Amino acid sequence: MEEKEMTNKKPRRRTALKVLSLLIFLIAVALLTICGTVRYTCGYEAIYYGKYSAFGIYPPIIGLIASIVLFIVAVFGKKGRKVCGIICAAIIVLTFPYIDGLDYILSKPYKTFSTSTWNIDYHFRHYMIDDLEEKYDLVGMDIEDVKKLLSKDSTMYPMEDANDGNYLCYFIGNEYLWHKTYEIYYNSEGKVTSTKISVS
């Protein structure tokens, strides 16, 4: 009688340990995924900083919770394991297209340039560079007019070769772990000669 009870307890313990270790693993992965995706990719400002950021953050959290449930179900059967494996593979394969697509949709309010939108938060500026350059032909403009147009948060830098003039530098967002800047070069007469985006 005692031997039967001992043999019944062993599978239960194994199952409990599997579930517990799986839960701990999934919680750790969930935390790392959320932190890593949102904080360290740093190229998707609309998802993290935008007014619709909840749509960027909550779906992955719900997906991770659902995957935890599926993993638990998977422990208890072959069919569950197959289904869970397919779903997990799909999640892994679709993560970056999902993030890219979501960033594209959520960044739409920030793609039209205006001085007020430019000055809301520097994280959104890189979205509106194309529109800025399309609306205003910066090359040839007076640098004082450019300063009025883009207003705050500019920094003036002297160039290494003094004959080439100076440039204004605006932070326009992040690319992975680096800052993106929009540099507006102008000559000694105060006329814009060129613009470029740099990552540093």
For the record, the structure tokens of 152 come out as 């705050």
Cα–Cα distance, 4 to 23 (Å, whole number): 29
Of the spans 17-26, 72-81, 84-93, 112-121, which averages the highest pLDDT?
112-121
Predicted pLDDT at 162: 46
What value does the mean pLDDT take over residues 55-61? 62
Q: How confident is the model at residue 69 (pLDDT cuts 50, 70, 90)?
A: low
Cα–Cα distance, 94 to 58 (Å, whole number): 16
Predicted pLDDT at 199: 83
Cα–Cα distance, 169 to 154 (Å, whole number): 6
Query: pTM for this one?
Result: 0.57
Which residues make beta-bridge pairs with 178?
Answer: 175
Statement: 115-199 belongs to CATH 3.30.1450: yes
Cα–Cα distance, 185 to 161 (Å, whole number): 12
Predicted pLDDT at 98: 76
- Closest to 71 (Cα-Cα) out of 89, 59, 83, 58: 83
Task: State yes or no: pLDDT of 79 exceeds 80.
Answer: no
Task: State yes or no: pLDDT of 160 exceeds 80.
Answer: no
Predicted pLDDT at 64: 65
Mean pLDDT value across the chain: 72
Percent of the chain with pLDDT over 70: 50
Residue with the bigger pLDDT between 178 and 161: it is 178
Domain with CATH 3.30.1450 in the chain: 115-199
Q: What is the pLDDT of residues 93-109, one digit of tens each?
A: 777 787 778 788 888 88
CA angle 80, 84, 90 (to 5 degrees): 155
Question: CA of 83: how far to CAs of 62, 67, 168, in Å?
Answer: 18, 11, 55
89-104-151-200 Cα dihedral, nearest 10 degrees: 40
Q: How confident is the model at residue 119 (pLDDT cuts 50, 70, 90)?
A: confident
Query: Residue 84's CB: how many other CB atoms inside 10 A?
Result: 19
| Phi, psi angles (nearest 5°) of residue 114 | -155, 155
Task: State yes or no: pLDDT of 145 exceeds 50.
Answer: yes
What value does the mean pLDDT take over residues 188-198? 89
Task: State yes or no: pLDDT of 132 exceeds 90.
Answer: yes
Contacts of 198 (CB under 8 A, 6+ apart): 180, 181, 183
Cα–Cα distance, 147 to 155 (Å, whole number): 10
